[in-house]
């Protein structure tokens, strides 16, 4: 009997159908010589400090650093996990071969390897490695099963990452909490979390320190085209007025007219980070929400494996592209021109050297019918249109630069005209078009021509640095804090990025949960708690994006077999030892950091129990959805929603009518169908009501009444 272990029940069901294991048993499927079982998330974790030494259960400075002589794993303390693991353990001990069908990535490899290790697996292990969950992909995967040993380096990198996070998270969190905390909160430190927070804090400080200044510029309109003086901005209105009087006394003369035709390259296919960036910019979705939507689309067999960090396709996919385009019936008007000629095998799209375990995210040949979630439809649309756009011709443009002068003052104007839209046709009907779609048409000028013009003084103000959005923060994490616009350069920096595509969303969510950052509209701001924490950390290693990016690079080298996990571990051990000595002897004092204890501990850092909440405190997650009676959950940091949201659709935004709802108001709305009276609610017309209520309408949508 061969035992297949999938990453979750739904995937196990798909695999069982393909291999012919159609008889349902307790915790697995059986048939045709196969038993197909499953995990659901992490079953095992690294042992906690007190599992090694009982005295490590208490948080004491004198016990730090905690360096176990060896690291062990244990089952998570969960009855459902224990029951399913018992089934897996029994099946593994009775079989002749195991097929690891876990998620085809580093985290999936780690999850399954730990389960097999804990189950005492001694039989040969094969690996199913697929990039989509379609029946065809699963069959092809089973025809080309790999030896598990081929993924030993991937497992080694995952294990080194987990151990590194344990060493730094457990020790640094206890160090800073005991040394600088006020006993009311845990000062959470993480290998990726802390440098990410440091970037936001640094930007926040730049914004806070910014002093706005007024400036004046000379502008003029000649032949319906606005020109701006190329001199430095003027610092006072008197100089601006004198400048205006000077240019009023002279005609405008064109000194140069240059028009160059150029091509704008096609956008790249999506990796996970670029998809999260695009969804945040265009749709306002958080990175965490986008990951959930794309994961759901993957499990519905509509797109390929999402947790990828490449924007390229493998060369062997080239023959399959026409078939995928042909299957995209909802986009037939856009795909039709591509199907009349061969698909070019461009290195900008197909490059084996740029593809590692998986290729870029693309649609599968499965038609996306019956998608009930608007959010999933929009994410699918982003992926589908990007896939189509990469095979269109390049966009041809004309860039125009005109120079002129009035007297001795020089002026400049620029414009761009799209000559042939090429790939931009794909986005022509979008409400929100691709950046750079706007055209600035300019007349043809002749060098030496001159004439009257309409000068004026423009008064402006300098602007502070822009706060991070989730989109710009994800890009900064990807490039270890470097501001990089060029896609080729960004590709080169990916090995040094902070975190991995699959973990960055969770890092951002962790910072929200710890109340180190907050969101206002799309912008992210460091809270005072977050600023205080970063100011407390004097050790630059802990908060340097570049150095953390270097650790990530070493983890990737471990994946490739060119860096020893033991060396990486020893480097982190030495860093933790040095950090402990430094913090213990520090005399630096920080003001009391009164953060709320985190809702959930990170795997890398366990904290002491938080004080019990007062009896009147509400736990909204104990409430039931009024529509379908499922549990109410916090959905990201924008709303509460039904645990069965995809099917039910019920949610209550944190803010309605310009008012942030209290826990009691949310509870009243869910349980009683309406809140008490609320002052100052904004109506849809934009007027402010003296007082009103929020109630659920017949479709269970919150409305102001």
Catalytic machinery residues = 305
Which pair of tokens denotes residue 612? 């019990």
SS3 letters for 55-85? HHHCCCHHHCCCCCCCCCEEECCCHHHHHHH
Strands 97-101 and 395-406: unpaired
Interhelix angle 272-283/374-389, nearest 10 degrees: 120
Cβ(529)–Cβ(597) below 8 Å:
no
Beta strand spans in 223-268 (E):
225-229, 252-264
Q: Calculate the dihedral angle through the C-alpha atoms of 336, 342, 347, 349, rounding to the nearest 10 degrees.
A: 30
Asked whether the beta carbons of 633 and 642 are under 8 A apart, the reply is yes
Distance CA 597, CA 189 (A): 13
**CA atoms lying within 13 Å on the CB side of residue 564:** 4
Buried b (16+ CB within 10 A) or exposed e, 583-593: beeeeeebeeb
3-state helix, strand, coil in the chain (%, to 5): 40, 20, 40
3-state secondary structure 117-186: HHCCCCCCEEECCCCCCCHHHHHHHHHCCEEHHHHHHHHHHHHHHHHHHHHHHHHHHHHHHHHHCCCCCC
Cβ-contact 508, 148 below 8 angstroms: no
Under 8 Å between Cβ of 653 and 703: no
Burial of 276 (0-12, 13-18, 19+ CB in 10 A): buried
Rounded Cα distance, 518 and 527, in Å: 7
Neighbours of 614 (CB within 10 A): 6
């Amino acid at each position: 009997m061969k035992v297949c272990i999938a990453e979750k029940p739904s995937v196990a069901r798909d695999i069982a159908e393909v291999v012919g294991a159609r008889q349902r048993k307790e915790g697995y499927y059986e048939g045709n010589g196969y038993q197909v079982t499953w995990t659901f998330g992490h079953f095992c974790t690294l042992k906690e400090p007190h599992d090694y030494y009982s005295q490590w259960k208490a948080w004491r400075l004198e016990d730090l650093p905690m360096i176990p002589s060896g690291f062990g794993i244990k089952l998570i303390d969960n009855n459902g996990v224990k029951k399913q693991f018992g089934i897996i353990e029994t099946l593994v001990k009775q079989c002749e071969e195991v097929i690891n069908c876990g998620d085809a990535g580093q985290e999936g490899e780690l999850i399954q390897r730990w389960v097999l290790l804990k189950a005492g697996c001694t039989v040969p292990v094969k690996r199913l490695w697929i990039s989509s969950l379609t029946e065809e992909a699963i069959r092809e995967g089973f025809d080309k099963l790999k030896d598990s040993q081929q993924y030993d380096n991937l497992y080694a990198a995952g294990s080194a990452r987990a151990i590194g996070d344990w060493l730094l998270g457990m020790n640094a969190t206890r160090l800073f909490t005991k040394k600088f905390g006020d006993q009311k909160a845990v000062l959470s430190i993480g290998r990726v979390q802390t440098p990410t927070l440091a970037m936001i804090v640094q930007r926040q400080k730049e914004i806070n320190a910014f002093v706005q200044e007024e400036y004046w510029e000379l502008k003029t309109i000649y032949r319906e085209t606005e020109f701006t003086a190329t001199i430095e901005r003027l610092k006072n209105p008197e100089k601006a007025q004198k400048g205006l009087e000077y240019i009023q006394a002279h005609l405008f003369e064109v000194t140069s007219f240059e028009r160059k035709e150029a091509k704008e390259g096609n956008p790249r296919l999506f990796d996970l980070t670029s998809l999260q960036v695009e969804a945040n910019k265009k749709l306002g979705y958080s990175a965490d929400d986008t990951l959930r939507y794309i994961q759901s689309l993957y499990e519905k067999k509509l797109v390929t494996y999402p947790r990828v960090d490449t924007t390229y396709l493998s060369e062997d996919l080239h023959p399959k592209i026409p078939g995928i385009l042909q299957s995209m019936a909802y986009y037939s008007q856009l795909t039709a021109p591509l199907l009349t000629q061969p698909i070019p095998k461009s290195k900008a799209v197909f490059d084996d050297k740029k593809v590692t375990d998986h290729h870029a995210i693309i649609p599968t040949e499965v038609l996306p019918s019956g998608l009930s979630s608007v959010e999933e439809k929009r994410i699918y649309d982003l992926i589908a249109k990007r896939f189509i756009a990469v095979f269109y011709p390049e966009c041809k443009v004309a860039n125009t630069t005109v120079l002129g002068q009035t007297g001795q003052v020089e002026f400049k104007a620029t414009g761009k005209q799209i000559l042939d839209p090429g790939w931009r046709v794909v986005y022509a009907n979008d409400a929100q078009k691709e950046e750079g779609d706007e055209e600035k048409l300019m007349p043809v000028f002749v060098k030496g021509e001159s004439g009257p013009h309409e000068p004026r003084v423009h008064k402006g103000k300098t602007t502070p640095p822009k706060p991070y959005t989730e989109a710009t923060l994800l890009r900064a994490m990807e490039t270890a804090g470097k501001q990089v616009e060029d896609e080729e350069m960004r590709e080169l920096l990916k090995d040094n990025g902070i975190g991995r595509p699959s973990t960055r969303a969770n890092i951002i969510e962790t910072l929200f949960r710890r109340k180190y950052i907050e969101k206002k509209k799309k912008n992210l701001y460091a809270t005072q708690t977050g600023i205080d924490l970063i100011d407390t950390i004097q050790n630059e290693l802990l908060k340097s994006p570049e150095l953390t990016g270097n650790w990530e690079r070493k983890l990737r080298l471990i994946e490739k077999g060119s860096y020893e996990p033991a060396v990486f571990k020893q480097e982190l051990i030495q860093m933790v030892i040095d950090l402990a000595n430094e913090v213990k002897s520090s005399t630096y004092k920080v003001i009391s950091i009164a953060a709320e204890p985190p809702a959930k501990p990170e795997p890398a850092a366990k904290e002491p129990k938080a004080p019990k909440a007062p009896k009147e405190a509400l736990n909204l997650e104990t409430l039931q959805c009024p529509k379908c009676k499922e549990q109410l959950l916090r959905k990201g940091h924008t709303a509460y929603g039904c645990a069965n949201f995809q099917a039910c659709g019920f949610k209550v935004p944190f803010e309605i009518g310009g008012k942030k709802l209290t826990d009691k108001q949310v509870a009243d709305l869910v349980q009683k169908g309406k809140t008490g009276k609320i002052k100052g609610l904004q109506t849809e017309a934009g007027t402010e009501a003296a007082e009103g209520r929020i109630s659920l309408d017949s479709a269970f949508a919150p409305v102001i009444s």
